[in-house]
Structure 1
């Protein structure tokens, strides 16, 4: 009778935990949201949730059949290449969108030179994707263990590209935060600065996770056990999705202060009727109350020639 080893049990637990976590995050982010209210940036977030959930689901199935199964072993390496690459591209597009948000004023994405340059930097990833397909490794050892990975021509190229693109996007957030003449400066730009700070931290997390995960591929030289590779990639995509969820979630500090102030006013003036606005979304992480809503309004008013005050 076959008995799962500890590595298989741990990998399966990680996949199942990631499935549950991604389901919760997806539900919180999309609760009560209509399709016609999902714009490009929010669509990227939802797509990242779906891909991360799908990755965890397929990984959970492959983990249970990884040993003594050549088909499962081969599918494992393709899963780590295709869905993992898709999640990374979505994260890069999301970070590029945030760069546009905090640096462009009154211009569209297609007319913004930096945005076009960033999109052009994604083209080499297509070449790297082809290298990963060509130099993939999937084999069964005599003891039935599945070994998957990437050979150095693909793994080294991938880690160098990940470090470059993540570092580049990180610098694009540091520059406006440090500059005294950037769009983020001024007493009325607090929310926009918060967008930049949160996304900067998200970019740093993506850099650390990508470097660590791909470094293991380089270290094992295409001979990493399939269970470990699936588990590490699952953790990578899940933590990235959690980071994006935090980046796009609205802080509750301002709302708490407002509620406390209103409560104090009612206690001091019990006869005064207080009119409150209807909450569009009661959940802090709801799509319609994320920082993108503020940014869209800011860019729209700026492009119309007005100076919004927030």
Structure 2
């Protein structure tokens, strides 16, 4: 009996000792890490946060209000007779309005409605952004090519004008090739840590796209200014007074040949003022359009195609709306004749709009 009591006492002592022995620190760390991972997986929610969705909703509503206001203002100035006789430049401007509005509406559905929750929606966001971006740029540069054609060869059919043909082929060939590469290799991921969608394009696409955008914009602007050279050459019209800005561009474009279809009467100071006004608007418009585009593409390049989805859509929405605002300002006239010449200034003996009344090829 005594032996049994001793054995029971020893066994109880061992059990108490084992139960009171502390767990090794390494084992406790592993258990804590596993519990933290499990909790983080349970807490992670996929999609955009309420703050980001609210921010984009405010931006999209503001941009849509601007776009509808601008297109309403333009349509209000156009009569039924204008709709029956729309030229290509006016059609391109109206198309730019509608494409920009379609992009803002589609981006709002993807961001605020679907919240970029799945991989398919996240991938669709970059495809949507790229498609409307390239579409709006093509329309914008077609407008610039048509403006140069109307000033250079208003009576010549477009297919017979080498400048128009080269410009169109360059735009569709360049943007078409780059956009196809973007559609094939887009970057879209949803983080397992925060559940946020990140989209972008690889650097071998963003760098050529940015470079091509800047080069085409600058070249088309220089072509337009060069075609104005015969009208603003310094010294060719001694009776006309011009500002230093106009004289500088006149010397820059001094090699431009005179055209029989352009006739600027001496002493017509009003025409000189219109040329100066057009040059200033062209210069400011080019810089204003390039600014947001360069900033957007530069951010995509620095982030290596991993920009937050709602940030990318917000910047693209602002960029598209800003471009429309600039073109609305560039093409908006103060009266009917200026509205009819929404894309160019070709001067006759008394007015600036006769060439567009005759420009039908």
Match for residue 293 of structure 2?
A: 210
2:136 is aligned with 1:87: yes
Match for residue 140 of structure 1?
A: 190
* CA deviation after TM superposition for structure 1 residue 289, in Å: 7.3
8 Å CA contact 1:18–1:56 kept in 2: the answer is: yes
Q: Separation in 1 of the partners of 2:161 and 2:144?
A: 15
Q: Separation in 2 of the partners of 1:157 and 1:240?
A: 20
8 Å CA contact 1:131–1:153 kept in 2: the answer is: no
Matches within 5 A, 1:166-245: 166-175=217-226, 176=229, 177-178=249-250, 179-180=253-254, 186=264, 187=268, 189-190=271-272, 191=274, 194-245=277-328
Q: Separation in 1 of the partners of 2:54 and 2:97?
A: 24
Matches within 5 A, 1:116-127: 116-122=165-171, 123-127=173-177
- Residue by residue over 1:243-273, the C-alpha shift from the partner in whole angstroms, topping out at 9 and shown as x without a partner, is 111111114xxx7xxxxxxxxxxxxxxxxxx
Match for residue 162 of structure 2?
A: 113
* CA deviation after TM superposition for structure 1 residue 203, in Å: 2.7
SS at match of 1:165: helix
Match for residue 268 of structure 1?
A: none
Unmatched 5+ stretches in structure 1: 256-280, 304-310
8 Å CA contact 1:95–1:199 kept in 2: the answer is: no
SS at match of 1:144: coil
SS at match of 2:332: coil
2:86 is aligned with 1:44: no
* CA deviation after TM superposition for structure 1 residue 295, in Å: 5.5
Q: Separation in 2 of the partners of 1:242 and 1:219?
A: 27
Deviates more, 1:288-297 or 1:91-100: 288-297
- Residue by residue over 1:144-197, the C-alpha shift from the partner in whole angstroms, topping out at 9 and shown as x without a partner, is 200000011211111111121112112213323533565688437454664454
Match for residue 58 of structure 1?
A: 106
2:77 is aligned with 1:28: no
Unmatched 5+ stretches in structure 2: 1-44, 230-248, 346-350
Structure 1 residues 90 and 3 mapped into 2: Cα distance closer, same or farther (>3 Å)?
closer
Aligned-residue CA RMSD (Å): 3.0
8 Å CA contact 2:126–2:186 kept in 1: the answer is: yes
8 Å CA contact 1:51–1:83 kept in 2: the answer is: yes
8 Å CA contact 2:190–2:196 kept in 1: the answer is: yes
- What's the TM-score, normalizing by structure 2? 0.67
8 Å CA contact 1:106–1:300 kept in 2: the answer is: no
2:173 is aligned with 1:128: no
- Give the number of the structure whose alpha-carbon radius of gyration is greater: 2
Q: Separation in 1 of the partners of 2:359 and 2:96?
A: 30
Greater relative CO, 1 or 2 (CA 8 Å, sep 6+): 1
Which of 47, 56, 66 matches 1:11? 56
- Residue by residue over 1:72-115, the C-alpha shift from the partner in whole angstroms, topping out at 9 and shown as x without a partner, is 31221111111111001000101111222333354332222222
* CA deviation after TM superposition for structure 1 residue 300, in Å: 5.9
SS at match of 2:159: coil
Q: Separation in 1 of the partners of 2:355 and 2:67?
A: 31
Which of 286, 298, 301 matches 2:355? 298
8 Å CA contact 2:199–2:306 kept in 1: the answer is: yes
Q: Separation in 1 of the partners of 2:160 and 2:277?
A: 25
